[in-house]
Structure 1
Amino acid sequence: MTAARLEQYLASVLQATSTDTNEVCLKPVNSTFDLFTIYLENHNTGLHRYQTARQTIIFMVAGTINIKINGKNIRLATGNSVFLEPKCEYDVPQQTKEDIIVKFEFTNHLNFLNAIAKFNDDEQKIVSQVKLSLKTERLLYLKNSKLAKSTQLMRRIVDEYLNQNLFTSEMISAELMMAFLTTIRNQKLSALPLVNYEFAETALDQYIDENFAHITLEQTAKHFGLNPNYFSTLVKQKTGKSFVEHVDERRMQEARTLLARPDISVRDIIAQVGYSGKSFFYKKFNEYYHETPVQMRTELFRQANINLK
């Protein structure tokens, strides 16, 4: 089936769909085929919201659309694909009639890289990029043009799925591997085309300032719509300090402010700034100010002419 005919067929399936479900299941001719199931994104109104239960590939057959994956806006154009690990959350906004999105939901966990026995140094660099993206972001953006070889392979996979013949599983497995390797070789894993997103240190400082007493890395990463591991790495790269160092700095500033008040005990200060134990607080405080909380309090009281005796 040619590219134009495939698009026409998929468009006709959408036009003939009378149900209001967000996905239309495209069943293979051979019921024993078990590599994956293909779904067509329906053109019904409203936002489509998902969480992946299995590894999934979103393939943009035609059109251009911005979808939100794990809180980030990603632009997909014809030929682009996104490989998603399980437990990824993504939203698909209402589409136009020109948009055709196909999704592959895999039955078993795939690892293309394990199928290759050995890499040279240049290949290993690309493989490391792939693994880092999958580990930190739980997704891999595969950028291909409309006429790219990988795009044609993905179209052939859809066609093979719909019109199965002899050795279909073997053909599709080989074409998937070829599409994957061709993409990462030619594109060198292009950066994610994020839309209207830029990490700002001021935004991080504001969030920590409002939540430092009960803050966690996971909660903060979720607030910024990022994977925790990726967020932690991004904070270090952008600011030169780790997330924990940012939080400790804000807690130490608050502790110093509270130590100047004679109406609050050191025990209460420890709890208010977010530490669970006295010894750990004292250790952090000494690392930051090079003196104990009691020594600092004594000096702050002296400067303010406060005499508790």
Structure 2
Amino acid sequence: MAAVKLEQYLVSVLDSTNADTNEVRLKPGNKAFNLFRVYLENHNTGIHRYQTSNPTILYEAEGMAKTKINGQNLTLKAGNLLFLQEKCGYEVEKQGKNDLLVKLEFSSKVNCADFLGEKTTLNSREQKVAEQLVQILKTKRLLSLRCSQMSRPSQLMKKVIDEYLNHNLFTRSIIAAELRILVITAIRNQDLETAPANQHKFAQTALERYIDANYTDITLNKTAEHFGLNPNYFSSLVKQKTGKSFVEHVDERRMQEARNLLARPDISVKEIIARVGYNGKSFFYKKFNEYYHETPVQMRAELFRQANINLK
């Protein structure tokens, strides 16, 4: 199959399928091939939701795909490549008639950095790039490569898919070599330090909005997942960007709410503690005193005095 005709073939596969499944598997030309499986995103209705069990490559061959990776929106345009680590949750919105999203799901725990070659064969600059790549995949669980449809990496991916579909000698060796060139070519054209893993940029205002909506039962892991980041990396990023730790941000919001509730005579201190997300009275009192330098009872008395509230 000529690479220039690959898109037409893939479209015909989708047009001919009657299965109401989220994805359509393409069978390899060589039945013994086991490096990865190839799937096409079906054009049926609804949002398609997945959880990767092994490293996966998403490749937008034609059109575009609106996705949500680990809770963050990301649009894939023609030629774009996305490397996902295992245990990544992602969603794909309904595809248009001319959209082609291809998925390569590897059968073993390969890493994108593995395609760069043995460490002993790399010079110091290349080793630094490989280390950056490993760190990005470790912290963000994905790597977005914004290649164009006519770029060499995109053309190589078409060759990989074409080779997968045909029954030729040395298929696995050819594909492994093409994937290596694909990754190296794409990586050296990217700024790994500044290229985002997704289109979401962390901002303090976004963090404050999220805490404001979830402070009663918030956790670091849940918040990091919301921003599509590794918890340890997210924790460091919050401190770096805002000058305060994640816990300090949460405590600040809880203290603000506690003060607001203390001004209401119809709510007991015990109820306030539960409402703002603390489990114990002594811990709440300790935090409150650290923040306001007085006890909740003392503050309540002053708030009542200011509001001319007399409960006696």
User: Helix, strand or coil: the match of 1:213?
Assistant: coil
User: Number of matched residues?
Assistant: 306
Judge which range, 117-126 or 255-264, deviates more.
Answer: 255-264
The 2-side partners of 1:14 and 1:83 are apart by 23
Relative to structure 1, the CA distance from residue 305 to residue 276 in structure 2 (aligned partners, 3 Å threshold; closer, same or farther) is same
Relative to structure 1, the CA distance from residue 40 to residue 269 in structure 2 (aligned partners, 3 Å threshold; closer, same or farther) is closer
1:62 maps to 62
Contact conserved, 1:217 with 1:228, CA < 8 A, in 2?
no
1:137 maps to 140
The 1-side partners of 2:184 and 2:101 are apart by 22
2:167 maps to 164
1:75-224 mapped onto 2 (5 Å cutoff): 75-113=75-113, 116-118=118-120, 119-189=122-192, 190-192=195-197, 194=199, 201-221=204-224, 224=226
User: Offset of 1:248 from its aligned partner?
Assistant: 0.7
User: Offset of 1:265 from its aligned partner?
Assistant: 6.5
Contact conserved, 2:59 with 2:101, CA < 8 A, in 1?
yes
User: Offset of 1:99 from its aligned partner?
Assistant: 1.9
- 1:226 equivalent in alignment to 2:228: yes
Relative to structure 1, the CA distance from residue 113 to residue 94 in structure 2 (aligned partners, 3 Å threshold; closer, same or farther) is closer
User: Offset of 1:52 from its aligned partner?
Assistant: 1.9
The 1-side partners of 2:16 and 2:279 are apart by 61
RMSD, aligned CA: 3.3
Provide the TM-score with structure 1 as the length reference.
0.81
Deviations 1:107-129 (A, max 9, x none): 11102435522454433443343
Judge which range, 103-112 or 229-238, deviates more.
Answer: 229-238
Gaps of 5+ in 1: none
- 1:20 equivalent in alignment to 2:56: no
Relative to structure 1, the CA distance from residue 264 to residue 39 in structure 2 (aligned partners, 3 Å threshold; closer, same or farther) is closer
The 1-side partners of 2:172 and 2:296 are apart by 68
User: Offset of 1:244 from its aligned partner?
Assistant: 1.2
Structure 1 stretches of 4+ moved >6 Å: 260-265, 297-309
Relative to structure 1, the CA distance from residue 213 to residue 61 in structure 2 (aligned partners, 3 Å threshold; closer, same or farther) is closer
Judge which range, 86-95 or 255-264, deviates more.
Answer: 255-264
User: Helix, strand or coil: the match of 1:214?
Assistant: coil
User: Offset of 1:160 from its aligned partner?
Assistant: 1.3
